[in-house]
Structure 1
Amino acid sequence: MQILEIFSKKNWVLLKAMVATDFKLRYQQSFLGYIWSVLKPLMLFTVMYMVFVRFLKFGDTVPHFSVGLLLGITMWNCFVEASSGAMISVVNHGDLMRKINFSKFVVVISAMMSALINFGINFVVVIIFALINGVELHVSALMILPLTLELIVFSLGVGFFLGALYVNFRDLNPIWEVVIQAGFYATPIIYPLSLVVTNLGPHWGPLISKLMLLNPMAQIIQDARHFIISDQNPIIWGSFNHSVIDFIPLTLSVVLLFGGISYFTKKSTTFAEMV
Structure 2
Amino acid sequence: MSTGGGGSARLPSRAEQAEGWRAPGQDAGWLNPLRERFLLRLLVRKELRVRYRGSALGMLWSYVKPAVQFIVFYIALGVFLQLNRDTPAYAVYLFSGIVVVNLFGEVFGNATRSITGNQALVSKIYLPSELFPWASMIVALVHFLPQLLVLLAGALLFGWLPSATSALAFGMGLVILVVFTMGLGMITAALNAAFRDVENFVDLIVMVATWLSPVLYRISMVEEVIGGTIWWWLYQLNPLTIVVELFHVAFWRYTPPAVQGVAADPSLAGPGEPFGLWWAGLLIAGLTFLLGTVLFERSKRRFAQEL
TM-score (norm 2): 0.80
Aligned residues between the structures: 265
Alignment of 1:92-107 (within 5 A): 92-107=117-132
Matched, 1:157 2:183: yes
Aligned to 2:292: 260
| Distance in 2 between residues matched to 1:166 and 1:234, nearest whole Å | 40
The equivalent residue for 2:30 is 3
Change (3 A) 1:229 1:238: closer
Alpha-carbon RMSD across the aligned residues, in angstroms, is: 2.1
> CA separation in 2, counterparts of 1:181 and 1:58?
22
Which deviates the most, 204-213 or 148-157? 204-213
Q: Distance in 1 between matches of 2:69 and 2:62?
A: 12
| Structure 1 residues 90-144: Cα deviation after superposition (integer angstroms, max 9, x where no partner) | 0111211233322110001011111111112210111011112333332322121
Q: Does 1:192 align with 2:218?
A: yes
Name the amino acid aligned to 2:127.
F
Tell me: CA distance 1:254–1:236, structure 2 relative to 1, closer, same or farther (3 Å): farther
* 1:3 maps to amino acid: W
Partner of 1:274: 306
**Structure 2 Cα separation of the partners of residues 54 and 163 of structure 1:** 40
Superposition pairs for residues 60-209 of structure 1, below 5 Å?
60-143=85-168, 144-198=170-224, 200=225, 204-205=226-227, 209=232
Deviations 1:177-233 (A, max 9, x none): 1222223211111111122234x2xxx436555542210011011011113221544
8 Å Cα contact 2:176/2:281 also seen in 1: no
Q: How far is the alpha carbon of 1:59 from its aligned partner?
A: 4.9
Counterpart residue identity of residue 129, structure 1:
G
Q: Where does the alignment leave 5 or more consecutive residues of structure 2 unmatched?
A: 1-27, 255-262
Q: In the alignment, which of 245, 252, 261 is matched to residue 229 of structure 1?
A: 252
- Secondary structure of 1:269's counterpart equals helix
Which residue in the other structure is 1:220 paired with? 243
Q: Does 1:28 align with 2:53?
A: yes
Question: 2-side partners of 1:92 and 1:106: how far apart?
Answer: 13
Counterpart Cα distance in 1 of 2:281 and 2:87: 24
CA change 1:235–1:80 in 2 (3 A) is: farther
Matched residues in 2 for 1:128 and 1:257: separation?
33
Q: What residue is the counterpart of 2:22 in the other structure? A: none
Structure 1 position 234, deviation (Å)? 4.1
Aligned-residue offset at 1:26: 1.6
Q: CA deviation at 1:13?
A: 1.3
Alignment check: 8 A CA contact 2:129 2:300 kept? yes
- Structure with greater Cα Rg: 2
Q: Kindly, what percent of the aligned residue pairs are identical?
A: 24
Q: CA deviation at 1:67?
A: 0.6
CA contact (8 A) 1:86 1:163 kept: yes
The amino acid that maps onto 2:171 is: L
Q: Please state how far the C-alpha of 1:46 moved relative to its aligned partner.
A: 0.5
Whole-Å separation in 2 of the counterparts to 1:145 and 1:265: 28
Structure 1 stretches lacking a partner, 5+ long: none
Higher alpha-carbon deviation: 24-33 or 73-82: 24-33
Alpha-carbon distance in structure 1 between the residues aligned to 2:55 and 2:29 = 38
The one-letter amino acid paired with 2:248 is: R
Counterpart of 1:185 in 2: which secondary structure?
Answer: coil
SS in 1 for 2:113: helix
The 3-state SS of whatever aligns with 1:29 is coil
